[in-house]
Amino acid sequence: MSTRYSRQTLFPPIGKEGQEKISSKHVLIIGAGALGSGNAEVMTRAGVGKLTIIDRDYVEASNLQRQQLYTEQDVADKLPKAAAAEKRLRTINSDVEIVALIGDATPEKLAELAEGVDLILDSTDNFETRMAINDIAQKYKIPWIYGACVASFGMSFTVIPGVTPCLNCLLKTVPIQGLTCDTGGIIGPAVQMAIAHQTAEALKILVEDWEAVRASFVSFDLWRNQYTSMKMGRAKDPGCLSCGEHPEYPYLSAENMTKTTVLCGRDTVQIRPPHSEGVDLSDMAARLKALGYEVKGNPYLLSAEMDENRFVLFQDGRALIHGTKDLAQAKSIYNRLLG
């Protein structure tokens, strides 16, 4: 379609040469929720050459208020977000190579995905994963763009290895979760504003307009009409273990990985087995039905419910235990059912 990107190429900082660069680049998006679905749609419509998306969750009704790729049918089908995103994105732009992965963005998986990637967009909901993204980006010299939002608040920062401070420089340690979508809610415009900041920076990087890349940490509160831009050059730490003179990439080590995670904004614990050996979902469905569970499923997962207990089991052995934030209780349920 010769006119597909005509309005984008009319923008002088992109032009035809920039469009050719965009169409040759590979973008990796971590997370397919509010930020991830929006980032993925913008990148797909912009004509990026290859888009890889990884997400561990599935579509629920509460997602529809702000996660723009999904439909009520996706909720009814309990489709994994990565699969639902891929289905929708392919109808938007068939020229883009879409790779959707259903699973956890562990350090091992991120290292596996890093080859050939030109840019990473952070669309996750937890700092453990963000710090792993940060270390992977430093190790493999891949630019990445941090983004987050909750309530009416959002923020973004662009990390260029060897040039800007990294997230570890800014935070030093993984912060304890404060306000979440569960405790503070979230409005759609805050999501869209964070997406706008991330994707604008993404386009600058993809067309290699490095002078235009924002060097400041941006935060905003749309409800209180506040906008802050803080210069971060002095925050770069020569002794940083992620990007300093002698990097050790601490957030890629096994001791910094958890096997249980309370999902952001939800009474849900994810249990991740040490090894992803795969699960026979048909066999498991039969076993659970025999125990009295009401079981529904699709080729990607099964959902089981009995009384107050509800959980979702994926093919790779991961499980989402709903209705609790208690890690010990979630582990007990998982071990009782799966051994």
Beta-bridge partners for 58 = 80
DSSP structural state of residue 186: B
Catalytic residue among 181, 240, 243, 264: 181
72 CB-side CA count, 13 A: 0
CA atoms within 13 A on the CB side of 145: 30
Alpha helices per DSSP H over 61-180: 72-77, 81-92, 107-113, 127-140, 167-171
109, 54 Cβ separation under 8 angstroms: yes
Token representation of residue 270: 């994810």
In whole angstroms, how far apart are CA 129 and each of 108, 134, 183, 194?
12, 9, 21, 18
Give residue 206's Cα distance to chain centre. 19
Name the residue type at position 49: G
Q: Which secondary structure element, helix H or strand E, spans residue 200, and what is its range?
A: helix 188-206
Whether 181 is catalytic is yes
Which amino acids are annotated catalytic?
Answer: 181
